[in-house]
Chain A
């Protein structure tokens, strides 16, 4: 549920304007407008039911089966199974039907259970009680029965059941406070306003008597009073309460439902999370196609054999044989074992079980949070080993998001909280004003300890307390900083802000206006009344141009110095307003607020008029400390060949300073700037081309020298949107996108500052779609990172301070940024190595298994005669050879954990899917074919016209098959043993255990006449074979020969790579280790 809601919040912000055009008229309380006003058109809206489940009880089986068989692998096996049912095939349908049935059933049960949980969640939401005002009375009903136009009463701490327009609130000023914690994780209280004309309503009777219509599309409410002209009032976002948010600090509100059920904005854009398909699976599909070709060739090789007199067809067979396609199908059945169902099962199991190692990892456990890493999807384990681009959020991810007030500077005098005692502050006029300004100019709320949670907290802290809440941690830090300097902001009561000054006197200021912060102005102001003062604080760039007096130079110098140190700076200024000026300002503001059209724009204009002629007071500096080992982690990621991008909403200087501190940029890094400042001077076109030239020149030089300068790019949001904007000016300017990508490709680090959440996702999408199709990873902690986390191949959430949204929407969640290192370099590396071996080994062992079968067709008249007994065919992948590879793929460590952590460059060895590329695949295929040829022809020449036993008796075709099969099982198991670098007792147990099991099974299988079978072809075959000396000798010989090439290859690779190492004059561990990991392959 949360996912979809959240996603919709995102898409809401991302998509921006919703594009429905119908006029939506809501009749409040379902009352007709007075006659003559306008025509009453009853409209039908859906009820308030939310449906997130995929299946119903009735459509579960067909729909789920359909979903499952849409997977190409499942479909393939289904076809095989059907073919086996229909035509006369070499093997019984059970051999492929049983595993398929098992896989499908398990998956269906899992999905059914998940859907049942969704049903339950839906149900609890839809059934939840709601108070509706009907005929002046409050009636309790269920959430899903809500209709558009109903007037709803919501009490404190209740969640809004649908999208509502606030009519009135129990607060006098007609406001209510709302948190959207459950939507986006933001905990601050947001203020919403009631419609002015209805805010006076206090009781349900009054509200019930309201007679009004809402024209939602226009954003207007028409209120009909008795026999008067309707009053039209504008509606805006400040009146709209969204479903899912919670009412806080307000006793109750009355509101009218405007959107219900699946029409609420959250639900409208509901989309199921697209299945992230891993790169490995794609490779497997490619394999499938190759196999199909092989099948086809096998079929074409089959000539139309006649029937010799000793082997007639039945009439049925004769008729059926008219269709030549049956041969093709029969071969398909015979060879389909090459991609066994069990491979998919094993891969799924490996991923599922393997992901536990992440959650079990003690090193990724954070004592402070009390949480370890979480795995939300195990489909992507191996992609962790393939990451090429890391997109990271700054605040809360690289940094602690624990703002600390460092210093303030008033007219060039620096105050540092812990360095001074009370009374040392000069009582100059500007100082007084400065501290008051900081105490007044904010939107911080004081949370009184009254809720249960608060009490709990109070006990833990050991003191009854109130604390500050704000959507911006900076503001909290500032207000707290002020407290430490002796000025405590107490509360906002009845529009009076109370401050405890350093002389322990309470000062009260009447709050007249708040000019809210927005990211365009990048400042906020308050107007308070003691002598009509306007206080403004904001980014230096937005304050300085408006300053008329004050010690600008000193403050500016300090601000710049602080910014370079990575501190977040704000400037504070004030303006004295005369009575008339205040009246004028008031006039501007109210006019803008009441405007029906272009309200935003007019507000901005009004702010612009009011916020000027400032007197500069000073500046503040707040520090956001880097997370522990952030620099080390970034450095390791760099060494591992990953490109790290920092995407932040912060301003460039601060972000750049953080980047230097976190070693994203080093001193040697040449910084390329692509910022608004630069593009204002030159055209974007020129800047881009110039940067591109710089980068390319460098690359051509660095082709000669070994170590090159690395580049760091800084780009800001505005420029980025200009770059990404589709070019309308024709082809002449070329494609900025491509040039930009080209530049990025050559930069080891990129800093994107001033980014909107949507832009973060855009960037990820851009890189994802670039022509190399790199694997991207996004890591973040806040709700604003969710879009990029969802967009990237691998999304990692930090269980941070800004709520759990990022962690919930991510594929993996970790407590701290530093854990990313182990996640990628150790776990990612292992998973990739393991899954690569798993996939290729599976392929190899099935080539070994099936290729002799294929060769045998040349010697049995292409009659699809299986070489092996049915039991062997069925059990080969299920039990004889399955456990060793599964356990290998769970516990293999080709290099130790410590080495991987110490040498991040090892990660480069597996970059770009290097272990699953065609040459490697080809090697495995060749090895498989070679081994298969050895098995088959080895046995062939031994069997050729000779006796095996010392009593002169002959062996038959089943002994032949069993001989091949025995060599096969031993060879593929020993091949895995050769590949194993990490022999734990588990490996010993499963490898030797599997071989032993094979022998015991064979003895048993051939040991008795099985009463339930209609054939006894294997009776005593295995024992007879073992009683023959030459059979033993040939088994040993064939196993040796089959393993020989791989051993030689391994030894040679090691020799060559260590030779390589010694020929380079840098004797050090990295290359030596590289040699080691090469030989792993």
Chain B
């Protein structure tokens, strides 16, 4: 009689057969694939002084020339900035800034003379700048109705509640609604041009004091004493996509007055949105000044494109060296939040406006990389040779 010892068994009494012939072997065996066995072929780079070294030199060699190029370009850009807020007693706009009242119908104008010490070639861009103005405040940023601005008729009559408290005024929907539109900075002097009565081209906006907005005009003081207004264009200052896709009047109907029937103008505006410009292509929601303002700035100190002074011809600089006068219809109150208002004249290169930071940053980073490359080279020379000999064969 033969016997063998009792063998491995399961808890439910089944005897697991050991040795050859155990039935379920193959099915349970894990598959021998590279992924499951964690044996996928792999590239195993190791960052050592030796491998990183060339990269540092290359970065250095590329960045420094770029930086120099940027810096030179930036330096060639001419920029002139003038603060016309009128905080100082001596400032021409002091009076205007002091006498602000919400109900005044009389515009306050001030004239600021300045001198450009070099001629500005090519297109010159005129910006207005505001400081300490929180266009990026959360309550402000969201206070708009993009559907309304996109010409949605329903939204025109029923502005989004995001526009609160600038959605309804006297039970009429505001078009355009929201805090952003309500606080628009730049207005349109154009429609009042017919009423200019003064020889010095001052705008007496008696009849149609447009809005809360400031209006900026630039005059060249000819050496022989005459003031010549610099012609400026108000188109091309907004993003093409904004003007043609994102912002749309409710209908393409030329008669905007009828379209906006039943709505009311923003509280701080003196004119409704359909009277922003006489040009139907620049009126209503697709008014470029309006669009520019509606693109909220990232930082509390910002500038926005106001006008473009197109170049006349390649022979004569757009703005000659000499004395200029900036005439401001001073409406926009900034004293209450200690803001500042500026006017900027700038030329533009391929890399945009004057910004020495980028060039300097490139030069610095390039130099640092180069320097680090040298340091690493030393390290590599000291220890690297031995490293190579003992390198890991993975």
State the A residues within 8 Å of B (CB): 2, 90, 179, 181-182, 185, 187, 246, 308-317, 356-357, 359-362, 365, 367-372, 402-403, 446-447, 453, 456-457, 460-461, 463, 465-470, 473, 476-477, 480, 483, 488, 490, 500, 799-801, 803-805, 808, 830, 859-861, 863-866, 891, 893, 896-897, 899, 938, 940-957, 959-961, 978, 981-987, 1009, 1014-1017, 1019-1020, 1024, 1028-1030, 1033-1034, 1037, 1040-1041, 1044, 1047-1048, 1050-1052, 1054-1055, 1058-1059, 1062, 1067, 1072-1073, 1076, 1079
Contact = CB atoms under 8 A, between A and B. Distances in A.
B87 interface: no
Contacts of A311: 134, 137, 139-140, 143, 179, 183
Contact of B3 (A317, A467, A938, A954): A467
Given A942-B358, A1033-B362, A1037-B361, A1072 B351 contact: no
A458 to B, nearest CB: 11
Contacts of B326: none
Contacts of B308: 952
Given A181-B11, A308-B133, A365-B29, 9 more contacts: A181-B12, A360-B31, A367-B25, A946-B355, A956-B295, A957-B297, A1019-B246, A1054-B46, A1059-B383
A1048 to B, nearest CB: 6
Given A310-B140, A312-B165, A453-B15, A957 B36 contact: no
Nearest to A866: B138
Nearest to B304: A954
Describe B's contact surface by its main secondary structure.
loop
B236 interface: yes
B137 A956 contact: no
Contact of A359 (B30, B66, B237): B30
Contacts of B136: 859-861, 863, 865, 957
B5 A952 contact: no
Going nearest first, the 9 A-B pairs with the smallest beta carbon separation are A310-B183, A960-B298, A947-B353, A360-B36, A865-B138, A957-B298, A863-B138, A952-B125, A956-B295
B237 A371 contact: no
B125 to A, nearest CB: 4
B47 to A, nearest CB: 5
B82 interface: no
Contact of A1072 (B44, B164, B390): B390
A182 B13 CA distance: 8
B2 interface: yes
Q: What band does the interface of chain B fall in when counting residues whose beta carbon is under 8 Å from A? A: 35 or more
A490 B1 contact: yes
Contact of B129 (A864, A945, A1024): A945
A377 B70 CA distance: 59
Contacts of A468: 3, 5-6
B17 A457 contact: yes
Nearest to A1053: B47
A442 B5 CA distance: 15
A1021 to B, nearest CB: 9
Nearest to A1049: B47
A316 B298 CA distance: 27
A465 B11 contact: no
B7 to A, nearest CB: 7
Contacts of A447: 6
Contacts of A949: 352
A477 B5 contact: yes
B125 A947 contact: yes
A943 B298 contact: yes
B212 to A, nearest CB: 9
B137 A1015 contact: no
B366 to A, nearest CB: 10
B139 A317 contact: yes
B278 interface: no
B111 interface: no
Interface stretch (B169-177, B249-257, B342-350): B342-350
Interface in B101-153: 123, 125, 127, 129, 133-147, 150
A984 B42 CA distance: 4
Contacts of B127: 954
Contact of B348 (A313, A952, A978): A952
Given A945-B302, A984-B42, A467 B4 contact: yes
Contacts of B44: 981-983
Contact of A1050 (B47, B238, B239, B305): B47
A514 B3 CA distance: 24
Nearest to B292: A954
B38 interface: yes
28 contacts: A308-B336, A309-B183, A312-B166, A314-B165, A316-B164, A361-B30, A361-B37, A362-B30, A367-B25, A369-B18, A476-B6, A488-B1, A803-B11, A859-B299, A942-B358, A947-B348, A950-B352, A952-B346, A953-B238, A953-B239, A957-B136, A960-B298, A1009-B150, A1015-B146, A1033-B70, A1062-B383, A1062-B386, A1079-B47
B94 to A, nearest CB: 20
A861 B137 contact: yes
Contact of A944 (B3, B70, B140, B357): B357
A938 B4 CA distance: 80
B6 to A, nearest CB: 5
Given A314-B165, A315-B165, A465-B4, A370 B24 contact: yes
A281 B241 CA distance: 49
A24 to B, nearest CB: 31
Nearest to A317: B139
Residue of A246, A863, A954, A978 ringed by the most chain B CB atoms within 10 A: A954
A770 B259 CA distance: 82
Nearest to B346: A947
A457 B298 contact: no
B138 A954 contact: no
Interface string B14-52: 111111011011001111100011111111111111001
A87 B12 CA distance: 59
Contacts of A893: 38, 42
Contacts of B357: 941-942, 944
Contact of A1037 (B24, B350, B358): B358
Contacts of B362: 1033, 1037
Given A370-B25, A457-B15, A860-B134, A983 B43 contact: yes
A453 B8 CA distance: 13
B305 A953 contact: yes
B245 interface: yes
B365 interface: yes
Contacts of A470: 6
Contacts of B392: 899, 1072-1073, 1076
B59 interface: yes
Residue of B296, B305, B355 ringed by the most chain A CB atoms within 10 A: B355
A950 to B, nearest CB: 5
B182 A950 contact: no
B383 A1055 contact: yes
Contacts of A899: 392, 394
B236 A951 contact: yes
B291 to A, nearest CB: 10
Contacts of B333: 309
A950 B350 contact: yes
B347 to A, nearest CB: 9
Given A311-B139, A1048-B372, A956 B3 contact: no
A803 B146 contact: no
B150 to A, nearest CB: 7
Given A370-B28, A480-B3, A185 B11 contact: yes
Contacts of B300: 859-861
B191 interface: no
Contact of B137 (A367, A860, A983): A860
A362 B47 contact: no
Contacts of A866: 138
Contacts of B236: 951
Nearest to B53: A1051
B15 A1017 contact: no
